[in-house]
Each structure stands twice: as C-alpha cells, then as structure tokens.
C-alpha cells in the first residue's frame, strides 16, 4: 500500500505545481455535475461496476455538456483491494466546433482500487488508466471518419470523517474531501501532460447502510492542448453511491 501512495502523492505534487503556474488565458465556467455509482459484489472474487453522469455546460443549468455511462468487471483480490476493467461511452453534447451535432467518445479503462474503512474515517483511492477514442469532427454539423486517440492516467483520493454520533450508520453526516489528478500520456502530447485537477469538499449523508448521498463544491482546473489556455470550473457536484452484496450468507 505504501509504494502506490508515495507514487501518487508525487503525481499530486506535480499537478499542484503546474496548477500554480501563471495562466495566460483562463476561462471561468460554472457547471452542475450529477452522478450515480454502484458496485455490486456477485461472489467472493467477482463484481460489477456501474456509474452514470450528466453534466451541464455553463451557469449551472444551461444545456448539457456531457453524458457518461461506464461499466466494468471487478475482481476482488481481497475485501479491501479490487481490480476493474471496463468500457465507458461518453457523449459530448453540441458545443463549439460541433454546434449542431454531438461528438461520441469510446473509452476502455483499467483500474486498481483500495479501501480502508474504520469507525472514525474512510479512505478510498484508485489509479485508473484510460484509452480514449474521440470521434473526429468535420464541421459544425458533421462527424468525420476515424478517431483521435489519447491515453490518460488518473489518481483519485477520497477521505471521509464523521461529523455526528451516528458516524457512518444510516442518518450519519460526514465531511468529504476528494482530489483527483489527470495526466495525459503519449508522444503526441506536447504542452499538456498535466490535464486537470479536481478538488472536492462537501458533505456525505448516509441514506442507508449501503447508500450515501454526497453534495458540495468541486474546483476543476484544466490545461488545454494549446498549453497556454486553461479552464477553471466552479462546479456544484451531487453524487449518489450504492454498494450491493449478492453473495449468499454462510451458516
């Protein structure tokens, strides 16, 4: 566990350093992100991952920017560590450069995930590799043949701390801190090996033993391919998390 944590902390340090550099052109954007996550354990070794997202463009509620459906097959190394491989379909709704048509993206992905859960804190982290096939654009109303390919690695760290006596039991309220850094890989990446950093602070409410609702503020700082252009997203984020265990109880 120690080596992955140290390696990923170095990635975070790199991301924060790049984020702190003076930005030449920064576009400020306000968005709303909603998401649903489900992890279903089928047996001691196997499980299913599902998450679905809808995101707006600007000013919180004006039009949609992205829709994402992601599925995966999980393999449990133990109760706290699991491997996942899956596929995501991303729909980029009409925007600049393709104002009359949506742009599809196909995204195979692989991940290792760790959990450390206790009565006074919960820690979750993952390292995810994505292969991104984004459809080429011909003009505002037409897609072109073929796809632009890119590879990205992501590190996500989430910590939750109970704020009420109920802790993580139903009815409990917790403080949630989350940071995720994205790095672009490959020879074609020239100016933006650092892609983006997402920092979230909010509250988690235990709707049930296996259901958590999170809401709060996320800042997303992204460097675009040109190198001197950045986006700074002020985002209201609402996510619902569920876990299911379909294993038969042992006597």
Residue 60's pLDDT is: 79
- The set of residues, in sequence order, having a beta carbon less than 8 Å from that of 20 and lying 6+ positions away, is none
pLDDT at residue number 192: 86
Q: How many CA atoms lie within 13 A of 123 on its CB side?
A: 7
pLDDT score at 145: 96
pLDDT along the chain (251 residues), means of 10: 49 49 77 97 97 91 92 97 98 93 97 94 97 96 96 98 96 98 92 94 97 98 88 96 90 60
Q: What is the DSSP string of 183-208?
A: EEESTT--S-SEEEEEEEEEEEEEEE
Please give the Cα distance from 207 to 24 (Å, whole number): 44
∠ CA 111-240-196, rounded to 5° = 50
Q: Which of 57, 56, 66, 147 has the alpha carbon at shortest distance from 108?
A: 147
Per-position DSSP letters for 8-42, written without gaps between them: HHHHHHHHHHHHHSPPSEEEEEEEEEEEEEEEEE-
Q: Name which of 16, 33, 61 is nearest 217 in CA terms.
A: 33
Which pLDDT score, from 0 to 100, does residue 62 have? 78
Q: The whole model's pTM is what?
A: 0.87
pLDDT of 23: 45
H or E element, residue 226: none
| Cβ atoms within 10 Å of 16's Cβ, excluding its own | 15
Provide the total of helices (H) and of strands (E) in the chain, helices listed first: 1, 11
pLDDT for residue 1: 47
* DSSP states along 90-115: EEE-SBTTBTTS-EEEEEEEEEEEEE
Contact 244, 38 (CB under 8 A): yes
């Amino acid at each position: 566990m120690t080596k992955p944590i140290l390696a990923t902390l170095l990635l975070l340090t790199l991301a924060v350093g790049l984020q702190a550099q003076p930005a030449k052109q920064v576009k400020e954007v306000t968005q709303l992100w909603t998401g649903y996550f489900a992890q279903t354990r089928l047996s001691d070794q196997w499980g299913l991952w599902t998450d679905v997202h809808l995101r707006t463009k600007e000013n919180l509620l004006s039009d949609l920017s992205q829709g994402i459906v992601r599925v995966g097959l999980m393999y449990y190394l133990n109760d706290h560590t699991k491997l996942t491989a899956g596929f995501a379909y991303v729909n980029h709704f009409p925007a600049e450069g393709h104002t009359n048509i949506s742009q599809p993206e196909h995204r195979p992905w692989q991940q290792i995930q760790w959990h450390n859960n206790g009565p006074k804190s919960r820690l979750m982290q993952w390292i995810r590799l994505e292969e991104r096939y984004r459809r080429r654009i011909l003009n505002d109303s037409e897609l072109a043949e073929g796809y632009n390919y890119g590879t990205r690695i992501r590190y996500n760290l989430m910590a939750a701390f109970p704020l009420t006596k109920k802790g993580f039991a139903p009815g409990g309220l917790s403080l949630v801190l989350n940071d995720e850094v994205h790095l672009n890989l490959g020879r074609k990446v020239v100016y933006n090996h650092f892609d983006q950093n997402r920092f979230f602070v909010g509250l988690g409410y235990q709707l049930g033993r296996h259901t958590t609702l999170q809401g709060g503020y996320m800042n997303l700082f992204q460097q675009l391919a040109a190198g001197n252009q950045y986006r700074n997203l002020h985002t209201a984020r609402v996510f619902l998390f569920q876990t299911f265990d379909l294993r038969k109880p042992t006597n």
